[in-house]
């Protein structure tokens, strides 16, 4: 796999392109001009061309991009796996909302199954099997690397178990402090701090006017 050095802003746009490309592929579209893609994703064609230039030689200019080839390149070079098997731990209010939203058009894979300590939650929910926590080691899909954490108790203990099962990335909604070993990436999602940030920004804008 060729190692590429892609600017952060470009990396943030790749999932947007990918989503649009997957839709086009689903609809049988094989070629797309940057102008047409620009209209779909609301990003300037020049930005798209520059972003795609990091992906190597994509063919002659003016002929349009090969949709299948682009998707393949994203998959291979950026390590994006549409078949990523994700697990969710904690099928409560937040967890259920995410299970119901498990329609990511195979852009980043899908929640393959979920786990909970409450036996009442351990049944199929929104088409996803929810297993008891006691079956984590047995039921976790082979090669699963990413877990979404929406639990309310025993976070550290749960993280330790997940890491022991091979989890390398955690999307954490719990906003409880925990430690993870080096090499395990954590993405914290916190609505409260987002609101706080917005309040600070709005206040600082108010004080300037």
Ligand X SMILES: NC(=O)c1ccc[n+]([C@@H]2O[C@H](COP(=O)([O-])OP(=O)(O)OC[C@H]3O[C@@H](n4cnc5c(N)ncnc54)[C@H](O)[C@@H]3O)[C@@H](O)[C@H]2O)c1
- Residue number with CB closer to ligand X (123 or 175): 175
The smaller minimum CB distance to ligand X, of residues 34 and 174, is found at 174
Applying CB under 6 A, among 118, 135, 137, 197 the residue interacting with ligand X is 118
Question: How far apart are alpha carbons 113 and 56 in whole angstroms?
Answer: 36
Q: Which is nearer to ligand X, 66 or 160 (CB)?
A: 160
Nearer to ligand X, 52 or 173 (CB): 173
Of 25 and 102, nearer to ligand X (C-beta) is 102
The dihedral region occupied by 67, where left means phi > 0, alpha psi between -120 and 50, and beta the remainder, is alpha
Q: Give SS3 for 143.
A: coil
The reply on whether position 186 binds ligand X by CB under 6 A is no
Per-residue exposure over 8-24, b if at least 16 CB sit within 10 Å of its own CB, e if not: eebeebbebbbbbbbeb
- The DSSP element (H or E) to which 128 belongs, if any, is strand 128-132
**Residue 129 binds ligand X, judged by CB under 6 A:** no
By CB under 6 A, tell whether 133 contacts ligand X: yes
89 lines the binding site for ligand X (CB under 6 A): yes
Strand 128-132, strand 124-125: pairing: antiparallel
Residue span binding ligand X (CB under 6 A) among the ranges 10-18, 101-109, 170-178, 195-203: 170-178
Alpha carbons 160 and 162: distance in angstroms, whole number: 5
* DSSP helix/strand/coil, 176: coil
* Least distance (Å) between residue 130 CB and ligand X: 9
- Tell me if 132 sits within 8 A of 89, measured CB to CB: no
By CB under 6 A, tell whether 95 contacts ligand X: yes
Q: Which of 18, 67, 94, 148 binds ligand X (CB under 6 A)?
A: 94
Pick from 137, 145, 192: which is nearest to 167 by CA?
A: 145
Q: How far is the CB of 107 from ligand X (least distance, A)?
A: 22
The least CB distance from residue 12 to ligand X, in Å, is 21
Interface contacts to ligand X, rule CB under 6 A: 89-95, 115-118, 121, 133, 150-154, 158, 173-175, 189-192
């Amino acid at each position: 796999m060729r190692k590429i050095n892609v600017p952060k802003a470009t990396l943030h746009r790749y999932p947007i392109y990918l989503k649009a490309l997957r839709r086009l592929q689903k609809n049988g579209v094989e070629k797309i001009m940057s102008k047409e893609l620009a209209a779909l994703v609301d990003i300037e064609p020049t930005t798209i061309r520059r972003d795609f230039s990091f992906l190597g030689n994509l063919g002659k200019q003016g002929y349009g991009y090969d949709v299948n080839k682009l998707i393949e390149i994203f998959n291979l070079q950026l390590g994006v796996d549409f078949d990523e098997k994700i697990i969710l731990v904690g099928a409560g209010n937040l967890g259920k909302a995410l299970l119901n939203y498990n329609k990511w058009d195979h852009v980043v894979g899908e929640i393959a199954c979920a786990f909970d300590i409450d036996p009442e939650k351990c049944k199929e929910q929104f088409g996803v099997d929810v297993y008891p926590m006691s079956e984590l080691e047995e039921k976790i899909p082979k090669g699963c690397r990413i877990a979404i954490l929406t639990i309310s108790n025993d976070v550290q203990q749960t993280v330790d178990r997940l890491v022991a099962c091979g989890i390398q990335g955690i999307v954490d909604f719990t906003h409880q402090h925990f430690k993870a070993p080096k090499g395990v990436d954590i993405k914290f999602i916190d609505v409260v701090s987002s609101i706080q940030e917005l309040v600070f920004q709005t206040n600082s804008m108010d004080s300037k006017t």
